[in-house]
Structure 1
Amino acid sequence: MFKTMRWVGLSVGLVVGVAGTGFALAQSKTPIKIGVIGPTKTLVGKQGVQGATLAAEMINKTGGVLGGRPVELIVYDTNFAPADGVAVVQRLLTQDNVKIVTGEVSSSVSLAVIPVVQAEDAIYIATVPKHPDVTNSGYDKVFRLNSTTAMDATAFNQFLTGNVKPQKVAVLAENSDFGRLTIDNLKQLFGPKLVFAETYGMQQNDFNSMVTNTRASGADLVCIAGSNMEQYGNILRALSDLNFAGRRCVMPGILNSEGIKIAGKSADGAVSADIYVPSLDGDMNRTFVQAFEAKYGNKPEKIELLGFESIWLAAKAMDMAGSATDVAKIAAAIRQGPWETPRGKLVFEANGQAKSGDLIRLEVRNGSMEPIRN
């Protein structure tokens, strides 16, 4: 029913220092399996898997973990569907004997799989989901790497009200926990200025009617909240085709170069914000960016970073805990931190939420995401 992709003892060359004896040792010992879930048939899902794969390669190239054991990724597609997510996580935990599950894009999928992870006393490291409830379940072995909608709002709402200053606002959001929460947040922010709000299905591909109604609403700002870049790219294109004259906002943490490519020139002028750009200073980020470019031919962005961090963190925490199976010790190690990652030092709050740095405000100019300096 589900397609499985496996990487065992990966050996593609990287721009990192490699100890040959450590690599050989890692290939000769029993692999440590880490589960990776996400909508792998989509662009955003593939990006997360790319980051996770690179982390496994780098770890294995330098001798693995726990005295030379390689990391093996077991990757399953969730298809943006909670039922599929529950099924594959059950398979990872009960058939593949995985102790740590990482990944996912959809908050709805993440919220659905947490009870399954808790029932099996495993660890879940959520990468992309932004709904605050992902780290509010009360289960002490859930962690999240991305910022939440509430964290983003602290900085981005001020930008929208103080810099963009719209008179009428429309919001187009995916029909998910994240999308519905975004609508509620913007209602609180803009009050009666929010003149139009509509959701779209996660598998929807025709947006003409929704965009026509948006244009008719008289909004001078439309905000898009959707994790699937194929969808928001086509929404931006549809807005341009129907001559929408207002400004466009892609909610924080979503804008991606692949979505910009789909939108084409229609993306120019769109504003957003995020927690990572590949130009961040730091030795580890330079190593990460160089290794990613060497393997995939392009610079990594936030999704690839989070996929990388999830595997890097899981493996290093196992090393610190001295065990691949004692989930209590591994979870305690994750909380101990701080962890050096490409975006800097990563620490976790008591509920498992990663503390992120300042949100970087972005604007699309000539097909490229550029920081907004003022």
Structure 2
Amino acid sequence: MQSVTRRTVLAASMAAFALSAAPHAFAAEPIKIGLVTALSGQSALAGEALTRGMTIAIEEINAKGGLLGGRKLELVRRDDEGNPAKGVTAARELIYKEKVAVLFGGLDTPVSVAIVQMTNQEKVPFMGPWAAGTPITKNGAKVNYAFRVSAVDEIVDKAMLSYSQKTFKAAKPGLILVNNAWGESNEQGIVAALAAKGMKPAGIEKFEANDVDVVPQLTRLKAAGADTLFMVGNVGPSAQVVKSLDRMGWKVPVVSHWGPAGGRFTELAGPNAKNVHFVQTYSFFGKQSPVGDKVVKALKAKYPDIKDVDDITPAVGVANAYDGMQLVAQAIAKAGSTNGDAVREGFYKIDRYEGLIKTYVKPFSPQEHDALGENDYVWAYFNNDYILPVGMASR
């Protein structure tokens, strides 16, 4: 009788253990999505915007049941500090240790270009929600795993010329560019855009990311007769260009790529930050689409510091990351797995997605890995710390 009791107790104990362990044993593994971006320094605000856009999309997808039969998405972030070597190290950790299914790149073109070389080699899909360097997606790889929902230099460069001619009657623009891969990408694009209209730049000047005085370069452009400046640089160096113009007393229109939008530009550049016009892919100001209303509502509910659309900044980071994450989810669903090559093919199978920035119709193909085009840009400026569309009254 005693042995039967023991067997009964043992069986009951094992059954109880099995029941308690079952949810863990059979719980679907999360699908990890990596993000390598600047989470510290002058561009940390932009890194946070990317995080928020992805987070809102992920929570929306998970609330609908996740992907692939109930697997939830999980965001894993690493700080690249704007440094290509650190970005590659961070990407390696996310790919090899965290086993991310898709890797989002961050702000800086040199970092993204370095990471894409590795993701192509390792067959891990890459989604770019910010860095605009043309070679990120047009990287020459025979099998290309890099996709993007963001601005693209060669398209922005044409838009900069068109906008400067329309707004400032530019006839002899001067180029002031950061001395790195992003600057080189835009130099090629702007020179080509000018040549297509039978024009040449007044001059081309470069500056280092840590320069605190750009007066010599600007003096040469002024002497060459530049009537407008095309500026390419992230927050810190772009601010130094504006302050150098102040020291010179040179009031010249500045048409910029979107680098100034990535952080504390108004604080660093001073009162004339408002005179810089720069490209954006989205604005939360004005009447929103149903998707826009939904995203704004979710942001306010999730982040206590967001009281109004004024506080959603930089808007492009949130918008690009949100749409990028939604398109990634569609690619994984189309693939039916997290296999890198299958997900890459899944991007080509996306038919239609009503997104935040626009309605995407077959946004990707083997020949086109950029989802946004020249008709998807808006021009903006700083009003105090707020980024407003050009022409919108001060708030």
TM-score interval, smaller chain: 0.7 to 0.9
Q: Output the CA distance in 1 between the equivalents of 2:51 and 2:210.
A: 21
Between Structure 1 and Structure 2, which shows a larger proportion of helix residues? Answer: 2
Task: Identify the residue that residue 343 of structure 2 maps to in structure 1.
Answer: 330
Q: Output the CA distance in 2 between the equivalents of 1:365 and 1:202.
A: 22
Counterpart selection for 1:133 from 132, 135, 141? 135
2:33 alignment partner AA? I
Q: Output the CA distance in 2 between the equivalents of 1:256 and 1:115.
A: 25
Q: Output the CA distance in 2 between the equivalents of 1:61 and 1:254.
A: 35
**2:158 paired with 1:147:** no
CA drift at 1:162: 4.0
* 1:57-81 superposed Cα distances (whole Å, 9 cap, x missing partner): 3333443323332221111122222
**Superposed counterparts of 1:1-374, under 5 Å:** 29-41=28-40, 42-43=43-44, 44-136=46-138, 137=140, 138-188=142-192, 189=194, 194-207=201-214, 209-211=216-218, 218-226=225-233, 228-251=234-257, 255=261, 258-279=264-285, 281-294=288-301, 295=303, 296-297=305-306, 298-300=311-313, 301-323=315-337, 325-337=338-350, 338-346=352-360, 347-351=363-367, 352-356=369-373, 358-364=375-381, 366-367=383-384, 368-372=387-391
Superposition TM-score, scaled by structure 1 size: 0.81
CA drift at 1:167: 4.9
Q: Output the CA distance in 2 between the equivalents of 1:107 and 1:51.
A: 20
Superposition TM-score, scaled by structure 2 size: 0.77
CA drift at 1:307: 2.0
Task: Identify the residue that residue 17 of structure 1 maps to in structure 2.
Answer: none
Is the 1:51–1:308 contact (alpha carbons within 8 Å) kept by the matching residues of 2?
yes
CA pair 359-254 structure 1, distance change in 2 beyond 3 A: farther
Is the 2:155–2:374 contact (alpha carbons within 8 Å) kept by the matching residues of 1?
no
Q: Output the CA distance in 2 between the equivalents of 1:336 and 1:192.
A: 41
Is the 2:333–2:346 contact (alpha carbons within 8 Å) kept by the matching residues of 1?
no
CA pair 213-357 structure 1, distance change in 2 beyond 3 A: closer
- SS at 1:268 equivalent: helix
Q: Output the CA distance in 2 between the equivalents of 1:156 and 1:192.
A: 14
Is the 1:103–1:310 contact (alpha carbons within 8 Å) kept by the matching residues of 2?
no
CA drift at 1:210: 4.5
CA drift at 1:213: 5.2
Q: Output the CA distance in 2 between the equivalents of 1:129 and 1:203.
A: 19
CA drift at 1:143: 0.7
1:236 alignment partner AA? V
Structure 2: where are the runs of 5+ without partners? 1-22
Matched-pair identity in %: 21
1:49 alignment partner AA? T
Is the 1:35–1:101 contact (alpha carbons within 8 Å) kept by the matching residues of 2?
yes
The Cα RMSD (Å) is 3.0
CA drift at 1:101: 0.7
CA pair 95-356 structure 1, distance change in 2 beyond 3 A: same
Is the 1:349–1:355 contact (alpha carbons within 8 Å) kept by the matching residues of 2?
no
CA pair 205-349 structure 1, distance change in 2 beyond 3 A: farther
- SS at 1:305 equivalent: helix
Is the 1:48–1:307 contact (alpha carbons within 8 Å) kept by the matching residues of 2?
yes
- SS at 1:128 equivalent: coil
1:230 alignment partner AA? G
CA drift at 1:342: 0.8
Is the 2:283–2:389 contact (alpha carbons within 8 Å) kept by the matching residues of 1?
no
Is the 2:230–2:254 contact (alpha carbons within 8 Å) kept by the matching residues of 1?
yes
Q: Output the CA distance in 1 between the equivalents of 2:77 and 2:256.
A: 29
CA pair 56-29 structure 1, distance change in 2 beyond 3 A: same
When Rg is computed on C-alpha atoms for both structures, the one with the higher figure is 2
Over 6 Å off, 4+ runs:
none
- Number of equivalent positions: 346
Q: Output the CA distance in 2 between the equivalents of 1:261 and 1:114.
A: 33
CA pair 331-193 structure 1, distance change in 2 beyond 3 A: closer
- SS at 2:275 equivalent: coil
CA drift at 1:35: 0.9
Is the 2:31–2:101 contact (alpha carbons within 8 Å) kept by the matching residues of 1?
no
